[in-house]
Structure 1
Protein backbone atom coordinates (compact mmCIF):
# COMPACT_ATOMS: atom_id res chain seq x y z
CA UNK A 1 0.00 0.00 0.00
CA UNK A 2 1.45 3.38 -1.02
CA UNK A 3 1.59 6.46 1.24
CA UNK A 4 -1.65 7.93 -0.18
CA UNK A 5 -3.50 4.69 0.52
CA UNK A 6 -2.13 4.51 4.06
CA UNK A 7 -3.14 8.11 4.68
CA UNK A 8 -6.66 7.45 3.37
CA UNK A 9 -6.98 4.34 5.53
CA UNK A 10 -5.75 6.27 8.57
CA UNK A 11 -8.22 9.12 7.99
CA UNK A 12 -11.05 6.64 7.37
CA UNK A 13 -10.38 4.78 10.63
CA UNK A 14 -10.00 8.04 12.58
CA UNK A 15 -13.25 9.50 11.28
CA UNK A 16 -15.07 6.20 11.78
CA UNK A 17 -14.00 6.18 15.44
CA UNK A 18 -15.02 9.83 15.88
CA UNK A 19 -18.42 9.29 14.23
CA UNK A 20 -19.01 6.24 16.42
CA UNK A 21 -18.24 8.34 19.49
CA UNK A 22 -20.56 11.12 18.31
CA UNK A 23 -23.39 8.65 17.69
CA UNK A 24 -22.86 7.11 21.13
CA UNK A 25 -23.00 10.55 22.81
CA UNK A 26 -26.00 11.81 20.82
CA UNK A 27 -28.07 8.63 21.16
CA UNK A 28 -29.63 9.56 24.56
CA UNK A 29 -30.62 13.00 23.24
CA UNK A 30 -32.09 11.54 20.06
CA UNK A 31 -34.01 8.97 22.10
CA UNK A 32 -35.31 11.76 24.38
CA UNK A 33 -36.58 13.73 21.38
CA UNK A 34 -38.21 10.66 19.84
CA UNK A 35 -39.89 9.69 23.12
CA UNK A 36 -41.22 13.23 23.56
CA UNK A 37 -43.36 12.87 20.43
CA UNK A 38 -44.63 9.33 21.09
CA UNK A 39 -48.03 8.41 22.57
CA UNK A 40 -47.92 6.51 25.88
CA UNK A 41 -48.68 3.12 24.30
CA UNK A 42 -45.64 3.39 21.97
CA UNK A 43 -43.05 4.42 24.57
CA UNK A 44 -42.45 0.83 25.74
CA UNK A 45 -43.23 -0.82 22.41
CA UNK A 46 -40.82 -3.61 21.52
CA UNK A 47 -40.43 -2.26 17.99
CA UNK A 48 -37.56 0.17 17.51
CA UNK A 49 -38.87 3.09 15.44
CA UNK A 50 -37.21 6.46 14.82
CA UNK A 51 -40.60 7.99 14.04
CA UNK A 52 -43.78 7.09 15.94
CA UNK A 53 -46.82 5.66 14.21
CA UNK A 54 -48.91 8.40 15.79
CA UNK A 55 -47.38 11.86 16.30
CA UNK A 56 -48.12 12.84 19.88
CA UNK A 57 -45.73 15.77 20.27
CA UNK A 58 -48.37 18.51 20.60
CA UNK A 59 -50.13 16.67 23.43
CA UNK A 60 -46.89 15.85 25.28
CA UNK A 61 -45.43 19.36 25.03
CA UNK A 62 -48.76 20.95 25.91
CA UNK A 63 -49.02 18.80 29.02
CA UNK A 64 -45.43 19.56 29.96
CA UNK A 65 -45.98 23.31 29.68
CA UNK A 66 -49.38 23.40 31.38
CA UNK A 67 -48.93 20.83 34.15
CA UNK A 68 -45.88 22.47 35.73
CA UNK A 69 -44.19 25.89 35.56
CA UNK A 70 -41.36 24.74 33.30
CA UNK A 71 -40.62 28.26 32.08
CA UNK A 72 -40.34 29.34 35.72
CA UNK A 73 -37.89 26.51 36.35
CA UNK A 74 -35.85 27.64 33.33
CA UNK A 75 -35.91 31.26 34.54
CA UNK A 76 -34.72 30.13 37.98
CA UNK A 77 -31.89 28.25 36.32
CA UNK A 78 -30.88 31.32 34.31
CA UNK A 79 -30.90 33.52 37.41
CA UNK A 80 -28.87 31.06 39.47
CA UNK A 81 -26.36 30.18 36.75
CA UNK A 82 -25.98 33.82 35.68
CA UNK A 83 -25.48 35.05 39.24
CA UNK A 84 -22.93 32.36 40.00
CA UNK A 85 -21.00 33.03 36.79
CA UNK A 86 -20.82 36.81 37.34
CA UNK A 87 -19.47 36.49 40.88
CA UNK A 88 -17.07 33.71 39.86
CA UNK A 89 -15.57 35.94 37.17
CA UNK A 90 -15.34 38.95 39.48
CA UNK A 91 -13.42 36.87 42.02
CA UNK A 92 -11.40 34.53 39.81
CA UNK A 93 -10.00 36.99 37.25
CA UNK A 94 -8.12 39.25 39.73
CA UNK A 95 -6.93 36.19 41.68
CA UNK A 96 -5.66 34.50 38.52
CA UNK A 97 -3.93 37.70 37.38
CA UNK A 98 -2.16 38.03 40.72
CA UNK A 99 -0.96 34.42 40.60
CA UNK A 100 0.21 34.78 36.98
CA UNK A 101 1.75 38.27 36.83
CA UNK A 102 2.41 39.64 40.32
CA UNK A 103 5.40 38.62 42.40
CA UNK A 104 4.79 38.31 46.14
CA UNK A 105 5.91 35.97 48.93
CA UNK A 106 4.01 32.70 49.03
CA UNK A 107 2.66 32.92 45.49
CA UNK A 108 3.62 29.35 44.61
CA UNK A 109 2.28 28.03 47.92
CA UNK A 110 -1.00 29.84 47.29
CA UNK A 111 -1.23 28.28 43.84
CA UNK A 112 -0.67 24.84 45.40
CA UNK A 113 -3.63 25.53 47.70
CA UNK A 114 -5.69 26.40 44.63
CA UNK A 115 -4.78 23.06 43.06
CA UNK A 116 -5.66 21.27 46.30
CA UNK A 117 -9.01 23.05 46.24
CA UNK A 118 -9.80 21.22 43.00
CA UNK A 119 -9.76 17.99 45.01
CA UNK A 120 -12.46 19.07 47.48
CA UNK A 121 -15.96 17.90 46.43
CA UNK A 122 -18.94 20.12 47.06
CA UNK A 123 -20.38 17.64 49.57
CA UNK A 124 -17.58 18.35 52.07
CA UNK A 125 -18.58 21.92 53.09
CA UNK A 126 -22.31 21.33 52.51
CA UNK A 127 -23.27 20.81 56.16
CA UNK A 128 -21.58 23.92 57.67
CA UNK A 129 -22.85 26.09 54.81
CA UNK A 130 -26.38 24.76 55.31
CA UNK A 131 -26.23 25.42 59.06
CA UNK A 132 -24.94 28.96 58.43
CA UNK A 133 -27.71 29.72 55.94
CA UNK A 134 -30.32 28.32 58.31
CA UNK A 135 -28.99 30.49 61.17
CA UNK A 136 -29.40 33.68 59.14
CA UNK A 137 -32.74 32.52 57.66
CA UNK A 138 -31.56 32.45 54.03
CA UNK A 139 -32.84 29.03 53.03
CA UNK A 140 -35.30 28.99 50.12
CA UNK A 141 -33.57 31.91 48.40
CA UNK A 142 -31.59 32.33 45.20
CA UNK A 143 -28.62 33.38 47.33
CA UNK A 144 -28.67 30.03 49.16
CA UNK A 145 -28.36 28.18 45.84
CA UNK A 146 -25.52 30.40 44.62
CA UNK A 147 -23.28 31.13 47.62
CA UNK A 148 -21.30 27.82 47.79
CA UNK A 149 -20.09 28.32 44.21
CA UNK A 150 -19.03 31.97 44.26
CA UNK A 151 -15.38 30.93 44.56
CA UNK A 152 -14.28 28.66 41.73
CA UNK A 153 -10.75 27.30 42.05
CA UNK A 154 -11.10 25.79 38.58
CA UNK A 155 -11.72 29.28 37.16
CA UNK A 156 -8.62 30.61 38.94
CA UNK A 157 -6.54 27.77 37.53
CA UNK A 158 -7.94 28.17 34.01
CA UNK A 159 -7.45 31.95 33.86
CA UNK A 160 -3.97 31.73 35.39
CA UNK A 161 -2.91 29.42 32.58
CA UNK A 162 -4.21 31.96 30.07
CA UNK A 163 -2.74 35.05 31.77
CA UNK A 164 0.73 33.49 31.92
CA UNK A 165 0.96 33.83 28.15
CA UNK A 166 -0.09 37.49 28.16
CA UNK A 167 2.88 39.73 27.13
CA UNK A 168 4.60 41.34 30.11
CA UNK A 169 5.69 44.30 27.96
CA UNK A 170 2.08 45.46 27.59
CA UNK A 171 1.57 45.31 31.35
CA UNK A 172 4.82 47.24 32.00
CA UNK A 173 3.78 49.90 29.48
CA UNK A 174 0.40 50.26 31.16
CA UNK A 175 2.09 50.71 34.54
CA UNK A 176 4.37 53.40 33.09
CA UNK A 177 1.23 55.19 31.84
CA UNK A 178 0.00 55.34 35.42
CA UNK A 179 -2.66 52.63 35.30
CA UNK A 180 -3.40 50.74 38.51
CA UNK A 181 -3.33 46.96 38.67
CA UNK A 182 -7.13 46.78 38.75
CA UNK A 183 -7.33 48.96 35.64
CA UNK A 184 -4.80 46.71 33.91
CA UNK A 185 -6.82 43.64 34.86
CA UNK A 186 -10.22 44.87 33.70
CA UNK A 187 -9.31 47.21 30.82
CA UNK A 188 -6.37 45.40 29.20
CA UNK A 189 -6.02 41.79 30.30
CA UNK A 190 -9.67 40.73 30.63
CA UNK A 191 -10.78 41.77 27.10
CA UNK A 192 -8.02 39.59 25.67
CA UNK A 193 -9.21 36.65 27.77
CA UNK A 194 -12.64 36.34 26.19
CA UNK A 195 -11.94 32.84 24.76
CA UNK A 196 -10.99 31.58 28.22
CA UNK A 197 -13.99 33.33 29.77
CA UNK A 198 -16.32 31.78 27.18
CA UNK A 199 -14.85 28.33 27.82
CA UNK A 200 -15.30 28.67 31.56
CA UNK A 201 -18.80 30.13 31.12
CA UNK A 202 -19.88 26.97 29.29
CA UNK A 203 -18.39 24.74 31.99
CA UNK A 204 -19.99 26.77 34.79
CA UNK A 205 -23.39 27.15 33.14
CA UNK A 206 -23.73 23.45 32.32
CA UNK A 207 -22.51 22.31 35.76
CA UNK A 208 -24.88 24.51 37.76
CA UNK A 209 -27.83 24.13 35.39
CA UNK A 210 -27.67 20.37 35.96
CA UNK A 211 -26.93 20.52 39.68
CA UNK A 212 -29.53 18.73 41.81
CA UNK A 213 -27.59 17.98 45.00
CA UNK A 214 -27.38 21.47 46.53
CA UNK A 215 -30.83 22.84 45.47
CA UNK A 216 -32.39 19.66 46.87
CA UNK A 217 -30.91 20.57 50.26
CA UNK A 218 -31.70 24.29 50.48
CA UNK A 219 -34.88 24.65 48.38
CA UNK A 220 -38.37 23.36 49.20
CA UNK A 221 -40.37 26.08 47.42
CA UNK A 222 -41.46 24.93 43.96
CA UNK A 223 -41.41 28.51 42.66
CA UNK A 224 -37.64 28.71 43.33
CA UNK A 225 -36.75 25.29 41.92
CA UNK A 226 -34.04 25.18 39.21
CA UNK A 227 -34.50 22.80 36.25
CA UNK A 228 -33.32 19.48 37.79
CA UNK A 229 -35.28 20.00 41.01
CA UNK A 230 -38.26 21.26 39.02
CA UNK A 231 -38.19 18.09 36.91
CA UNK A 232 -38.27 16.03 40.08
CA UNK A 233 -41.29 17.97 41.38
CA UNK A 234 -42.94 17.65 37.96
CA UNK A 235 -42.43 13.88 37.72
CA UNK A 236 -43.67 13.31 41.27
CA UNK A 237 -46.72 15.55 41.24
CA UNK A 238 -47.97 15.88 37.66
CA UNK A 239 -46.63 13.55 35.03
CA UNK A 240 -46.63 10.28 36.94
CA UNK A 241 -45.66 7.55 34.50
CA UNK A 242 -46.32 9.61 31.37
CA UNK A 243 -42.80 9.39 30.00
CA UNK A 244 -43.73 11.24 26.84
CA UNK A 245 -44.57 14.36 28.85
CA UNK A 246 -41.50 13.84 31.06
CA UNK A 247 -39.14 13.72 28.09
CA UNK A 248 -40.92 16.71 26.55
CA UNK A 249 -40.25 18.65 29.75
CA UNK A 250 -36.63 17.46 29.74
CA UNK A 251 -36.26 18.63 26.13
CA UNK A 252 -37.61 22.08 26.99
CA UNK A 253 -35.24 22.43 29.95
CA UNK A 254 -32.25 21.13 27.98
CA UNK A 255 -32.73 23.58 25.09
CA UNK A 256 -31.07 26.57 26.87
CA UNK A 257 -27.87 24.55 27.33
CA UNK A 258 -27.71 23.78 23.61
CA UNK A 259 -28.36 27.43 22.74
CA UNK A 260 -25.59 28.63 25.07
CA UNK A 261 -23.11 26.17 23.62
CA UNK A 262 -24.02 26.96 20.01
CA UNK A 263 -23.40 30.67 20.63
CA UNK A 264 -20.16 30.07 22.53
CA UNK A 265 -18.75 27.06 20.69
CA UNK A 266 -16.08 28.94 18.74
CA UNK A 267 -14.87 30.87 21.78
CA UNK A 268 -15.10 27.67 23.82
CA UNK A 269 -12.77 25.79 21.49
CA UNK A 270 -10.37 28.76 21.35
CA UNK A 271 -10.32 29.00 25.14
CA UNK A 272 -9.61 25.31 25.64
CA UNK A 273 -6.84 25.41 23.03
CA UNK A 274 -5.18 28.61 24.26
CA UNK A 275 -5.17 27.66 27.95
CA UNK A 276 -3.71 24.23 27.28
CA UNK A 277 -6.44 22.44 29.25
CA UNK A 278 -7.31 19.10 27.67
Structure 2
Protein backbone atom coordinates (compact mmCIF):
# COMPACT_ATOMS: atom_id res chain seq x y z
CA UNK A 1 0.00 0.00 0.00
CA UNK A 2 2.80 2.39 0.90
CA UNK A 3 4.65 1.55 -2.32
CA UNK A 4 1.50 2.15 -4.36
CA UNK A 5 0.93 5.53 -2.70
CA UNK A 6 4.55 6.55 -3.27
CA UNK A 7 4.31 5.53 -6.93
CA UNK A 8 1.11 7.54 -7.48
CA UNK A 9 2.68 10.60 -5.87
CA UNK A 10 5.81 10.26 -8.02
CA UNK A 11 3.91 10.01 -11.33
CA UNK A 12 3.81 13.83 -11.94
CA UNK A 13 7.54 14.09 -11.27
CA UNK A 14 8.33 11.17 -13.57
CA UNK A 15 6.15 12.75 -16.25
CA UNK A 16 7.97 16.06 -15.82
CA UNK A 17 11.37 14.41 -16.26
CA UNK A 18 10.08 12.45 -19.26
CA UNK A 19 8.80 15.56 -21.03
CA UNK A 20 12.12 17.32 -20.40
CA UNK A 21 13.81 14.64 -22.54
CA UNK A 22 11.43 14.77 -25.51
CA UNK A 23 11.22 16.92 -28.66
CA UNK A 24 8.05 18.99 -29.26
CA UNK A 25 6.60 16.41 -31.62
CA UNK A 26 6.46 13.72 -28.91
CA UNK A 27 5.09 15.86 -26.09
CA UNK A 28 1.45 15.85 -27.24
CA UNK A 29 1.19 12.29 -28.49
CA UNK A 30 -1.82 10.32 -27.29
CA UNK A 31 0.29 7.44 -26.00
CA UNK A 32 2.80 7.80 -23.19
CA UNK A 33 6.29 6.37 -22.92
CA UNK A 34 8.81 7.45 -20.33
CA UNK A 35 11.82 7.29 -22.66
CA UNK A 36 11.64 9.35 -25.86
CA UNK A 37 12.04 7.90 -29.31
CA UNK A 38 14.28 10.83 -30.20
CA UNK A 39 16.36 12.29 -27.39
CA UNK A 40 16.04 16.04 -27.06
CA UNK A 41 17.43 16.46 -23.54
CA UNK A 42 20.47 18.54 -24.45
CA UNK A 43 18.42 21.04 -26.44
CA UNK A 44 15.74 21.33 -23.75
CA UNK A 45 18.15 21.81 -20.84
CA UNK A 46 20.31 24.21 -22.81
CA UNK A 47 17.23 26.30 -23.63
CA UNK A 48 16.17 26.20 -19.97
CA UNK A 49 19.56 27.52 -18.86
CA UNK A 50 20.07 30.11 -21.60
CA UNK A 51 16.66 31.40 -22.71
CA UNK A 52 16.07 32.99 -19.31
CA UNK A 53 18.44 33.58 -16.37
CA UNK A 54 17.53 30.31 -14.63
CA UNK A 55 20.90 30.13 -12.80
CA UNK A 56 20.10 33.58 -11.39
CA UNK A 57 16.70 32.34 -10.20
CA UNK A 58 18.35 29.35 -8.52
CA UNK A 59 20.92 31.59 -6.83
CA UNK A 60 18.11 33.87 -5.63
CA UNK A 61 16.38 30.84 -4.17
CA UNK A 62 19.53 29.79 -2.30
CA UNK A 63 20.07 33.30 -0.90
CA UNK A 64 16.43 33.75 0.13
CA UNK A 65 15.99 30.31 1.70
CA UNK A 66 19.30 30.41 3.58
CA UNK A 67 18.62 33.91 4.93
CA UNK A 68 15.13 32.92 6.05
CA UNK A 69 16.45 29.77 7.74
CA UNK A 70 19.20 31.60 9.64
CA UNK A 71 16.74 34.27 10.82
CA UNK A 72 14.16 31.66 11.82
CA UNK A 73 16.64 29.69 13.93
CA UNK A 74 17.93 32.90 15.52
CA UNK A 75 14.36 33.80 16.57
CA UNK A 76 12.72 30.42 17.14
CA UNK A 77 15.43 28.75 19.24
CA UNK A 78 15.44 31.38 22.06
CA UNK A 79 11.63 31.57 22.00
CA UNK A 80 11.36 27.77 22.21
CA UNK A 81 13.91 27.66 25.03
CA UNK A 82 11.93 30.21 27.02
CA UNK A 83 8.70 28.24 26.55
CA UNK A 84 10.37 24.94 27.41
CA UNK A 85 12.74 25.73 30.26
CA UNK A 86 11.99 29.12 31.81
CA UNK A 87 9.27 29.79 34.35
CA UNK A 88 7.37 33.04 33.84
CA UNK A 89 3.81 34.26 34.03
CA UNK A 90 1.80 33.67 30.90
CA UNK A 91 4.05 30.95 29.50
CA UNK A 92 1.20 28.54 28.77
CA UNK A 93 -0.91 31.31 27.23
CA UNK A 94 1.96 32.20 24.89
CA UNK A 95 2.35 28.57 23.89
CA UNK A 96 -1.37 28.43 23.11
CA UNK A 97 -0.89 31.44 20.84
CA UNK A 98 1.90 29.57 19.05
CA UNK A 99 -0.46 26.62 18.51
CA UNK A 100 -3.17 28.96 17.22
CA UNK A 101 -0.67 30.54 14.81
CA UNK A 102 0.02 27.05 13.43
CA UNK A 103 -3.61 26.89 12.32
CA UNK A 104 -3.54 30.17 10.36
CA UNK A 105 -2.61 29.77 6.67
CA UNK A 106 0.05 32.18 5.52
CA UNK A 107 -2.17 33.33 2.65
CA UNK A 108 -4.61 34.84 5.18
CA UNK A 109 -1.90 37.27 6.28
CA UNK A 110 -0.92 38.29 2.75
CA UNK A 111 -2.81 41.62 2.74
CA UNK A 112 -1.54 42.96 6.11
CA UNK A 113 1.98 41.75 5.25
CA UNK A 114 1.78 43.53 1.91
CA UNK A 115 0.68 46.76 3.61
CA UNK A 116 3.48 46.39 6.19
CA UNK A 117 6.12 45.89 3.50
CA UNK A 118 4.73 48.87 1.58
CA UNK A 119 4.89 51.09 4.66
CA UNK A 120 8.47 49.96 5.31
CA UNK A 121 9.37 50.65 1.68
CA UNK A 122 10.80 47.20 1.05
CA UNK A 123 8.45 45.93 -1.68
CA UNK A 124 10.21 44.56 -4.76
CA UNK A 125 13.33 43.68 -2.78
CA UNK A 126 14.91 40.65 -1.15
CA UNK A 127 13.84 42.01 2.24
CA UNK A 128 10.18 41.67 1.24
CA UNK A 129 10.78 37.98 0.47
CA UNK A 130 12.46 37.34 3.84
CA UNK A 131 10.76 39.53 6.46
CA UNK A 132 7.31 37.82 6.56
CA UNK A 133 8.88 34.44 7.38
CA UNK A 134 11.37 35.38 10.09
CA UNK A 135 9.08 34.05 12.82
CA UNK A 136 7.95 30.45 12.34
CA UNK A 137 5.32 29.06 14.76
CA UNK A 138 6.18 25.55 13.63
CA UNK A 139 9.85 26.16 14.35
CA UNK A 140 9.05 27.37 17.85
CA UNK A 141 6.83 24.34 18.45
CA UNK A 142 9.38 21.84 17.10
CA UNK A 143 12.32 23.25 19.05
CA UNK A 144 10.23 23.50 22.23
CA UNK A 145 9.28 19.84 22.04
CA UNK A 146 12.91 18.85 21.54
CA UNK A 147 14.23 21.16 24.27
CA UNK A 148 11.79 19.64 26.74
CA UNK A 149 13.51 16.26 26.30
CA UNK A 150 16.89 17.71 27.39
CA UNK A 151 17.53 17.24 31.16
CA UNK A 152 17.37 20.36 33.29
CA UNK A 153 20.62 19.33 35.04
CA UNK A 154 22.54 20.29 31.91
CA UNK A 155 21.10 23.79 32.03
CA UNK A 156 21.79 24.14 35.76
CA UNK A 157 25.41 23.07 35.22
CA UNK A 158 25.81 25.61 32.42
CA UNK A 159 24.46 28.38 34.63
CA UNK A 160 26.92 27.41 37.37
CA UNK A 161 29.71 27.71 34.78
CA UNK A 162 28.62 31.29 34.08
CA UNK A 163 26.75 30.81 30.81
CA UNK A 164 24.09 33.37 30.00
CA UNK A 165 20.68 32.20 28.83
CA UNK A 166 21.48 33.17 25.23
CA UNK A 167 24.76 31.28 25.42
CA UNK A 168 22.93 28.24 26.76
CA UNK A 169 20.56 28.36 23.80
CA UNK A 170 23.16 28.64 21.03
CA UNK A 171 26.14 26.83 22.60
CA UNK A 172 24.39 23.98 24.41
CA UNK A 173 20.73 23.51 23.53
CA UNK A 174 20.91 24.09 19.78
CA UNK A 175 23.91 21.77 19.17
CA UNK A 176 22.13 19.05 21.16
CA UNK A 177 19.00 19.61 19.08
CA UNK A 178 20.74 19.37 15.70
CA UNK A 179 18.35 16.62 14.42
CA UNK A 180 15.43 18.97 15.06
CA UNK A 181 17.34 21.86 13.48
CA UNK A 182 18.10 19.74 10.41
CA UNK A 183 14.48 18.62 10.09
CA UNK A 184 13.23 22.16 10.45
CA UNK A 185 15.84 23.35 7.97
CA UNK A 186 14.65 20.88 5.33
CA UNK A 187 11.00 21.79 5.86
CA UNK A 188 11.76 25.51 5.81
CA UNK A 189 13.89 25.37 2.66
CA UNK A 190 11.39 23.19 0.80
CA UNK A 191 8.49 25.43 1.81
CA UNK A 192 10.12 28.68 0.73
CA UNK A 193 11.87 27.25 -2.31
CA UNK A 194 8.47 26.13 -3.62
CA UNK A 195 6.60 29.25 -2.53
CA UNK A 196 4.90 31.04 -5.41
CA UNK A 197 2.07 32.95 -3.73
CA UNK A 198 4.06 35.54 -1.77
CA UNK A 199 6.85 36.21 -4.34
CA UNK A 200 4.15 36.78 -6.95
CA UNK A 201 2.86 39.62 -4.75
CA UNK A 202 6.10 41.00 -3.33
CA UNK A 203 8.45 41.33 -6.34
CA UNK A 204 8.22 42.43 -9.97
CA UNK A 205 11.81 42.66 -11.21
CA UNK A 206 13.07 39.52 -12.90
CA UNK A 207 16.49 39.67 -11.22
CA UNK A 208 14.77 39.27 -7.82
CA UNK A 209 12.60 36.28 -8.74
CA UNK A 210 13.03 32.96 -6.87
CA UNK A 211 12.97 29.70 -8.86
CA UNK A 212 9.22 29.05 -8.92
CA UNK A 213 8.37 32.57 -10.04
CA UNK A 214 11.23 32.47 -12.51
CA UNK A 215 9.83 29.33 -14.12
CA UNK A 216 6.50 31.12 -14.64
CA UNK A 217 8.31 34.02 -16.31
CA UNK A 218 10.13 31.50 -18.50
CA UNK A 219 6.85 29.87 -19.50
CA UNK A 220 5.06 33.09 -20.32
CA UNK A 221 7.82 34.96 -22.08
CA UNK A 222 9.98 32.42 -23.82
CA UNK A 223 8.73 28.88 -24.15
CA UNK A 224 5.16 29.41 -25.38
CA UNK A 225 3.76 25.98 -26.16
CA UNK A 226 7.19 24.33 -26.21
CA UNK A 227 6.91 22.38 -22.97
CA UNK A 228 10.27 20.62 -23.24
CA UNK A 229 12.41 23.55 -21.99
CA UNK A 230 9.74 24.41 -19.43
CA UNK A 231 9.83 20.88 -17.98
CA UNK A 232 13.62 20.93 -18.08
CA UNK A 233 13.61 24.15 -16.04
CA UNK A 234 11.12 22.68 -13.58
CA UNK A 235 13.30 19.58 -13.22
CA UNK A 236 16.34 21.71 -12.44
CA UNK A 237 14.34 23.59 -9.80
CA UNK A 238 13.07 20.41 -8.10
CA UNK A 239 16.31 18.39 -8.29
CA UNK A 240 18.21 20.17 -5.43
CA UNK A 241 15.33 19.55 -3.02
CA UNK A 242 15.10 15.85 -3.90
CA UNK A 243 18.85 15.35 -3.54
CA UNK A 244 18.97 17.21 -0.22
CA UNK A 245 16.11 15.17 1.22
CA UNK A 246 17.58 11.84 0.08
CA UNK A 247 20.92 12.76 1.68
CA UNK A 248 19.37 13.78 5.01
CA UNK A 249 16.25 11.63 5.29
CA UNK A 250 17.59 9.58 8.23
CA UNK A 251 18.20 12.66 10.37
CA UNK A 252 15.01 14.27 9.09
CA UNK A 253 12.86 11.47 10.52
CA UNK A 254 14.90 11.39 13.73
CA UNK A 255 14.45 15.11 14.26
CA UNK A 256 10.68 14.93 13.83
CA UNK A 257 10.25 11.97 16.19
CA UNK A 258 12.82 12.62 18.90
CA UNK A 259 10.89 15.52 20.41
CA UNK A 260 7.91 13.28 21.06
CA UNK A 261 9.82 11.27 23.71
CA UNK A 262 10.11 13.00 27.06
Q: How does the TM-score come out when normalised to structure 1? A: 0.91
Q: Does 1:188 align with 2:172?
A: yes
Q: Does 1:93 align with 2:50?
A: no
Which residue of structure 1 lines up, in the alignment, with residue 96 of structure 2?
A: 112
Q: Does 1:139 align with 2:131?
A: no
Runs of 4+ in 1 over 6 A off after TM superposition: none
Across the two proteins, how many residue pairs are aligned to each other?
261
Distance, in Å, in 2 between the alignment partners of 1:216 and 1:146 is: 14
| Residue 205 of structure 1, aligned match among 163, 185, 189 | 189
| 1:124, distance to aligned residue in structure 2 (A) | 2.6
What are the superposed Cα offsets for residues 205-251 of structure 1, whole Å, 9 maximum, x if unpaired? 01101111111111100111001110111000000111111100101
What are the superposed Cα offsets for residues 9-57 of structure 1, whole Å, 9 maximum, x if unpaired? xxxxxxxx12112211221111111110011111111222121110010
Identify unmatched segments of 5+ residues in structure 1.
1-16
Which residue of structure 1 lines up, in the alignment, with residue 36 of structure 2?
A: 52
Q: Does 1:179 align with 2:168?
A: no
Root mean square deviation of aligned Cα: 1.3
Distance, in Å, in 1 between the alignment partners of 2:231 and 2:100 is: 39
Distance, in Å, in 2 between the alignment partners of 1:252 and 1:242 is: 17
Identify unmatched segments of 5+ residues in structure 2.
none
Distance, in Å, in 1 between the alignment partners of 2:116 and 2:167 is: 35
* Larger displacement relative to structure 2 (39-48 or 159-168): 39-48
| 1:125, distance to aligned residue in structure 2 (A) | 2.5
Q: How does the TM-score come out when normalised to structure 2? A: 0.96
Q: Does 1:125 align with 2:109?
A: yes
Distance, in Å, in 2 between the alignment partners of 1:191 and 1:213 is: 34
What are the superposed Cα offsets for residues 60-94 of structure 1, whole Å, 9 maximum, x if unpaired? 11111111111111111111111111000000000
Which residue of structure 1 lines up, in the alignment, with residue 207 of structure 2?
A: 223
SS in 2 for 1:123: helix
Which residue of structure 1 lines up, in the alignment, with residue 149 of structure 2?
A: 165
Which residue of structure 2 lines up, in the alignment, with residue 240 of structure 1?
A: 224
Distance, in Å, in 2 between the alignment partners of 1:84 and 1:204 is: 8
| Residue 12 of structure 2, aligned match among 28, 36, 58 | 28
Distance, in Å, in 2 between the alignment partners of 1:36 and 1:198 is: 31
